[in-house]
Structure 1
């Protein structure tokens, strides 16, 4: 009881915002009841996602996780909150969910280091935490994501392939890495550099705070000014949002043809850029198996079960402990793979991709309903 009272006091000190955000989506409306869960297996699971400027979180991850939880546990409820890219907001949301008595937290952290205190609070309240997509600091109970180094390797191999002769001649690239506070960024970068080093010259490399496309745009404009518009043979962009910012800067500088640009997450806009020839590739990470694994972990932990049946891998936690993990395999998706990846898996339909703006490009690519 003392633990519950201490956490409640912390949430109250954070102000009304902490309670208002718990269980709320973008609209601020509750996404789950505030009363105690009832019935066999009727637990409350908190779901906290990091931002709303990356489309995947609201479009795929949230609904898929909520759906799987309901399939596994009909009496379970999901308390949802999106931090909108703000560390303090997410900390308040965790406090509020603890005070409301959730049984398990599924957390995709805004900042892995800053999340450590929140994860520690959850542990003190006997609430296990599943770290989702981003490896959070602190005493997490499980981790679900994709092999980050393999993501970087796929991006780098695709970039070299697209550069062709320029790569063979030691061409010059710009690296637009992700947020330096995100452990995934480190893994993506290590994977990419293991392929790129010794093959191409890295003219400029940037860490992009907040994974924000506008920051990538500013950085790319700086790279163009420093290196020259005609001397950039390719761009490693760590995800599709950064690719969007990069391509906008390249187009503003009137660079034609555009150098190949990588990406990640298979956002609809990125798939359309691949169809139109503005972006060379994206890394497709099937969201359903990732979401399903997180839901399975959360329900199992809420029932007091071990994760051995679900988690077949281990990752090293911040204190060196072995954390049960599900590490999934990413897929490289260029124009030739659109049908066999995002369309085949039902992520998007041809109709969604091939709007009027992209119809001619789709026709040339053989993307027809």
Structure 2
């Protein structure tokens, strides 16, 4: 009897070890290799190319396979892309949304099929999101406004907003406007206008700023732009009027072209959102969700369907004074690329 008990104990321990080991690395609860479906908004943009590369690299380190597809800035295509990923028997869905209001049918289908969805940097509304990882978005907007105000805190300001379908754009705007409001109330700043930029397209932003400059007879003191792509378009329009470097412009994403503009004095500020950090965190979270494990959060955000567990990452304000100690020191860009020597 004693021998039988010992044998049963050994077999139990062996079974538990087997179950535990089968779920280590990149295996799901069934012991099969984890399959991650990654739906990206638009790989034509430098930012998302880097996110994809870092994400795939980390996921592969964790033993998971990644199937990714880009919607090329088309919300209808992204909906179809997600439905196609679901049909491929993925274990977890990761989405960088083009339109945070149009994807809920596909996300709910994934949930019904037992596939958890991780919202990557952009929230998706009115659906069952398992987890959300992003930056402190209002702080990004505050930093954009602060970077401009450090150069000029009086005069005629224009706000160039992001895509109206991007849920993040409203947080950027709120952060910027909250920062500008005391100056507006004192009469130091006049907000001469604002406009959203369809799909964050630089060509659209260029037309907006050209039209604004014409309407205002070039009388503008600063442009708070919601990212580097449209901020670059604003600088282009200003340059055509001989105003580049005279009218401070903001941005975000720390695109190389923006860093070069900052080095030249043509752009006042960008906001560096450590892309490698969010990509690595999202890859880790995706693998954990596929295994049914708890994912770290430091807050929550209601998306109209539920309070979604959220992990916020701190952004970094980048100006001409700290290029070397931020993006260059972090290896995001080289000094040679930024300064051209």
| TM class by smaller structure | 0.7 to 0.9
1:119 aligns to 2:107 (yes or no): yes
Pair 1:44-2:35 in alignment: yes
Equivalences for residues 1-369 of structure 1 within 5 A = 40=31, 42-58=33-49, 60-72=50-62, 74=63, 76-137=64-125, 138-163=127-152, 167=153, 170-199=154-183, 200-229=189-218, 231-255=219-243, 257-307=245-295, 310-319=296-305, 321-355=306-340, 359=341
Asked if 2 retains the 8 angstrom alpha-carbon contact of 1:50 and 1:109, the reply is: yes
1:28 matched residue in structure 2: none
TM-score, normalised to structure 1, is 0.81
* Counterpart-to-counterpart distance in 2, 1:353 and 1:198: 34
In 2, the alpha carbon distance for the partners of 1:177 and 1:41 equals 45
Gaps of 5+ in 1: 1-35, 360-369
Q: How far apart in 1 are the matches of 2:108 and 2:44? A: 27
User: Helix, strand or coil for the counterpart of 1:84?
Assistant: coil
Aligned partner of 2:23 in structure 1 is none
The size of the alignment, in residue pairs, is 309
Moved more, 195-204 or 331-340: 195-204
How far apart, in 2, do the equivalents of 1:233 and 1:219 lie?
16
Deviation (angstroms), 1:228: 1.5
- Map of 2:16 onto structure 1: none
8 Å contact kept, 1:293–1:326: no
SS of equivalent residue, structure 1 residue 131: strand
C-alpha root-mean-square deviation of aligned residues, in Å?
1.7
Tell me the distance in 2 between the aligned counterparts of 1:153 and 1:254: 28
Shift of 1:92: 1.2
Partner Cα separation in structure 2 for residue 149 and residue 207 of structure 1: 17
SS in 1 for 2:118: strand
Asked if the contact 2:244–2:266 (Cα under 8 Å) also holds between the matched residues in 1, the reply is: no
**1:38, distance to aligned residue in structure 2 (A):** 11
Distance in 1 (CA, whole Å) between partners of 2:303 and 2:80 is 24
- With over 3 angstroms needed to count, the CA separation of the structure-2 counterparts of 1:349 and 1:40, relative to structure 1, is farther
Query: Structure 1's 283 and 99: CA in aligned 2 closer, same or farther, altered over 3 A?
Result: same
5+ residue gaps, structure 2: 1-26, 184-188
Deviations 1:34-90 (A, max 9, x none): xx99994511001111013321111x2011111111222x2x210010111011111
User: Take 1:38 and 1:324, find their aligned partners in 2: how far apart are those partners?
Assistant: 22
TM normalised by structure 2 equals 0.87
Partner SS for 1:162:
coil
Q: CA deviation at 1:253?
A: 2.4
Q: Is the 8 A contact 2:262 2:319 kept in 1?
A: yes
Larger displacement relative to structure 2 (104-113 or 37-46): 37-46
Between the aligned partners of 2:242 and 2:201, the Cα distance in structure 1 is: 22
**Deviation string, structure 1 residues 139-168 (Cα, Å, up to 9, x no partner):** 1100011011100111111111111xxx2x
SS of residue in 2 equivalent to 1:236: strand
SS at match of 1:299: helix
CA distance in 2, matches of 1:52, 1:258: 33
The CA deviation string for residues 254-293 of structure 1, in whole angstroms up to 9 with x for no partner, is 3365300001000001000111111111001111221111
